[in-house]
Chains A and B, each alone.
Chain A
Amino acid sequence: MKLSTALNRENRGVAATVLVILILLPLAASIVGFVVRGGRDVPEVFLEKADPRWDACVRETEYMRFYHMDFLKEIREDVVRSGVKGGVTLAGCGDCHRNRDQFCDRCHQAASVNLDCFGCHFYPETDAERISAGM
Chain B
Amino acid sequence: MRWVMDRRDFIKRGGTILAGASGALSLPVVSSCTPEVPHGASTLAGKRMGMVIDLTKCRSGCTACMDACREENNVAFFGDPRWDVHWLRKVNIRPTEEYEGGEGGAEKTVLLMCNHCDDPPCAQVCPVQATYKREDGIVLVDHHRCIGCRYCMIACPYNARYFNWRENEDWPNKEYPKRSHGVAESCNFCAHLVDQMKLPACVQTCQDIGAGALVFGDLNDPQSEVARLVAERSTKRIREDWGTEPKVYYIGL
Contact = CB atoms under 8 A, between A and B. Distances in A.
B174 A135 contact: yes
B166 interface: no
B142 A83 contact: no
Interface string B168-179: 000100110111
Interface string B146-179: 0000000000000000000001000100110111
A82 B136 CA distance: 10
Interface string A67-101: 10011001110101111111110010000000000
Contact of A84 (B41, B132, B196): B41
Given A81-B132, A83-B135, A83-B136, A122 B177 contact: yes
Interface residues of B, number: 29
Chain B contact surface mostly: loop
Contacts of B42: 82-84
A80 B142 contact: yes
A-B pairs with the 4 shortest C-beta distances?
A84-B40, A119-B180, A74-B37, A120-B177
Given A83-B44, A135-B175, A78 B39 contact: yes
Given A71-B35, A120-B143, A86 B40 contact: yes
Contacts of A74: 35, 37
Contact of B37 (A71, A121, A134): A71
Interface residues of A, number: 27
B37 A75 contact: yes
A59 to B, nearest CB: 8
A54 interface: no
B144 interface: yes
A91 B180 CA distance: 18
Contacts of A88: 37
A42 B191 CA distance: 41
A71 B140 CA distance: 22
Contacts of B41: 84
A40 B171 CA distance: 39
A36 B135 CA distance: 56
Nearest to A133: B174
Nearest to A59: B35
A122 B195 contact: no
A121 B175 contact: no
Nearest to B195: A85
A110 B61 CA distance: 54
Contact of B174 (A85, A119, A122): A122
B146 to A, nearest CB: 11
B55 to A, nearest CB: 31
B189 to A, nearest CB: 12
B180 A120 contact: yes
A76 B40 contact: no
A67 B35 CA distance: 7
Interface string A97-135: 000000000000000000010011110000000000111
A76 B140 CA distance: 14
Nearest to A122: B174
